[in-house]
Structure formats: C-alpha cells, structure tokens
Amino acid sequence: MRIIIYISGILGGLLLMIGLIGTINDFNYNAVFLISGLALIVPICIPLMIVDRYRYNKKIDHIIKTHKDKPSKTKSISPVKSKVKGWGMNNSPFRERKSGLTWGGGNIKGANASRGTRKSFLK
C-alpha cells in the first residue's frame, strides 16, 4: 500500500507542478496535467495515507495493550567483572564520565590535573 501512496503522491505532485508551470508558459495540454495531478492526489494518495496512519495507530495500540498487563522485569547489572574482553556498557570510552582526573598539557612539566574535563572529540 505504501508503494501506491508514494507513486501516486510523487506522480500527482509532479503533474500538478507541470500544470501550474504550464499556466505561466501556456503548455498544450495544461488542463490535462492539472486534472490528472489532482486526480492522483485527492482520491488516491490522501485517503490511502489516512488509512495507513489509522492501521499504524491501531497496531501500536494493540502492542501497548498486550504489554500493559505484563509485569515489568527490571534487570540489574552485576558487580562481577565480566570475562568478555573489550568495551561494555559500563566501561566504554565514549560514555560521559562525571568524575576522575584527566591530565592536560602538551608536556610533562606543563601538565595539570583537573576534574570533570575530557577530550572534546569524545563527547
């Protein structure tokens, strides 16, 4: 159904645009372009869009209704260190950190430790 919506909407819009440009430039079949563009948009594209949106909303309501009665399961993260190597949800370098020391400066003598600042490209 969405393919029909897209094709009729795009084709109807193009024909409508050609018809509107044709009012300025006086094309031979200007009235045909205008009427066919309106005939594709008004009775085909718009009602199908409304039906598609209605079906989508009914589907979302059904999903919400089926999951509303079930109790929610809360999962907690275990404090045990994982055996999997690599980055996880808690030790990712791209996660925003609120505390900890970071060292700034270009050399050892000019380095200053500060809290709460990280490299700007990681944010």
Map tokens 């440009």 to a residue. 21
| Residues whose CB is less than 8 angstroms from the CB of residue 22 and which lie 6 or more positions away in sequence, other chains included | 29, 30, 33, 34
- How far, CA to CA in Å, does 48 sit from each of 6, 10, 11, 17, 64? 10, 14, 15, 21, 24
What was the pLDDT predicted at 98?
56
CA–CA distance, 8 with 27 (Å, rounded to integer):
22
pLDDT in tens, 73-114: 766 666 666 666 666 666 666 666 555 555 555 555 555 555
Per the structure block, which two tokens stand in for 114?
């500060």
| Residues whose CB is less than 8 angstroms from the CB of residue 89 and which lie 6 or more positions away in sequence, other chains included | 77
pLDDT in tens, 7-64: 999 999 999 999 999 999 988 889 999 999 999 999 999 999 999 999 999 999 999 9
What was the pLDDT predicted at 107?
54
- Of the pLDDT bands very low, low, confident and very high (cuts 50, 70, 90), residue 71 is confident
Instruction: Name the residue ranges covered by the structural domains of the chain.
Output: 2-68
